[in-house]
Amino acid sequence: MAVRVAIGSDHAGFQYKKKILTWLQEQNFITADFGTYTEDSMDYPDAVHPLATALENGEYDFGILLCGSANGVCMTANKHQGVRAGLAWNLEVVKLIRQHNDANILCLPARFISEFQAVEYAREFLNTAFEGGRHATRVGKIACPAC
């Protein structure tokens, strides 16, 4: 079964989003683009909330979000139960958020990495497995019990 990947960005991440989306489609991932669709200024939560909701509902296996620093999209996505969004700025962090944190959304800082790195990080994120074991216990404690 093909892996389903949702992608979204604000205006700062728009060009990188297009590059990653093209790569995903070339690799035969099932994709959905949650916007933005231009470089016009927009509010990142308008793309993040629909994407994170779709992930929560099981419509997609993974998500990729981009904005200038990746902090805004990451904070917004992590408001959703069942979402574990991780901000990554180098390859080692990309691997660790999958291996140790079972991240299901990759957040990339478009103003601090290259287009090449953005695609490379997406590839690594989608090809790295969660290690489980002692990490599974920790990941199991992430969700807010009162939410």
- Residue 71 tokens, joined: 């902090």
What stretches of the chain show up as alpha helix (H) in DSSP?
Answer: 14-26, 45-56, 71-77, 91-99, 115-127, 134-139
Residue 33 buriedness (CB in 10 A; 0-12 / 13-18 / 19+) = middle
- Domain extent, residue 26, equals 4-131
Number of domains in the chain: 1
74 in a domain, yes or no?
yes
**Inter-residue contact 62 to 104 (CB < 8 Å):** yes
Residues in a beta bridge with 4: 30
- Residue 58 tokens, joined: 């099981």
Residue 16's domain is classified under what CATH number? Answer: 3.40.1400.10
Query: Which residues are marked as active site?
Result: 67, 100
**Digit-coded pLDDT (tens) for 86-125:** 999 999 999 999 999 999 999 999 999 999 999 999 999 9
In degrees and rounded to multiples of 5, residue 119 shows phi and psi of -70, -45
The residue assigned the tokens 């695609």 is: 119
Output the CA–CA distances (angstroms, integers) from residue 106 to 91, 125, 145, in the order listed.
12, 7, 24
Amino acid sitting at position 23 = W
Element (H, E) at 63: strand 62-67
Q: What is the pTM of this model?
A: 0.96
139 in a domain, yes or no?
no
**What pLDDT, on the 0 to 100 scale, is given for residue 144?**
80
**Digit-coded pLDDT (tens) for 20-60:** 999 999 999 999 999 999 999 999 999 999 999 999 999 99
60 in a domain, yes or no?
yes
